[in-house]
Amino acid sequence: MKIKDIMSKKVVTVELDDNLRVVKELFDKTNFHHLAVICDGKLCGIVSDRDLLKSISPNIGTMAATSKDMATLNKKVHQIMTRQAITSDEESSVRDAIHIFNKNKISCIPIVRDGEYIVGMVSWRDILRNIEKTMAPEIV
């Protein structure tokens, strides 16, 4: 089976100079855990919800939040993103993706065309969902 058969084709993107307030709003509004960072239409990095949580004050969204806490949302995406994203292409096999997940400490793979244009994302959850769909129901 090919990656293109299971990848999420809906990709949410941000740009290098977007601030973390934009990133937080996107994570809050969507069910995504990774955003593609785009430069001139090409993938130049990835930012995860974990990257965001490590970069902003834990007091944000609470009564204890100060103006200093809120200022952490003014950081830019390029300050926290992973620049050397590990990618794959849509013609790669699911087995190749599993190998990438097992070899690297990542939970999402940007899927690119021509080595730079993002066309989708695949997570280990996508693979597990697909395995679940293809398994025969257990007979009780």
User: What is the structure's pLDDT at 140?
Assistant: 44
User: What is the structure's pLDDT at 23?
Assistant: 97
User: What is the structure's pLDDT at 134?
Assistant: 84
CATH number at residue 48: 3.10.580.10
Report pLDDT digits (tens) over 88-129.
999 999 999 999 999 998 999 999 999 899 999 999 999 999
Q: Which two tokens stand for residue 41?
A: 């239409």
Q: Are 96 and 119 in contact (CB under 8 A)?
A: no
User: What is the structure's pLDDT at 138?
Assistant: 66
Q: What range defines the domain where residue 96 resides?
A: 3-134
Report pLDDT digits (tens) over 43-80.
999 999 999 999 999 999 899 999 999 999 999 999 99
- pLDDT at residue 39 above 50? yes
User: What is the structure's pLDDT at 31?
Assistant: 87
Q: Are 127 and 3 in contact (CB under 8 A)?
A: no
Judged on CB neighbours under 10 Å (0-12, 13-18, 19+), 55 is middle
Q: Which two tokens stand for residue 27?
A: 């994570």
Q: How many domains does the chain have?
A: 1
Domain assignment of residue 139, yes or no: no
- pLDDT at residue 10 above 80? yes
Domain assignment of residue 85, yes or no: yes
Domain assignment of residue 102, yes or no: yes
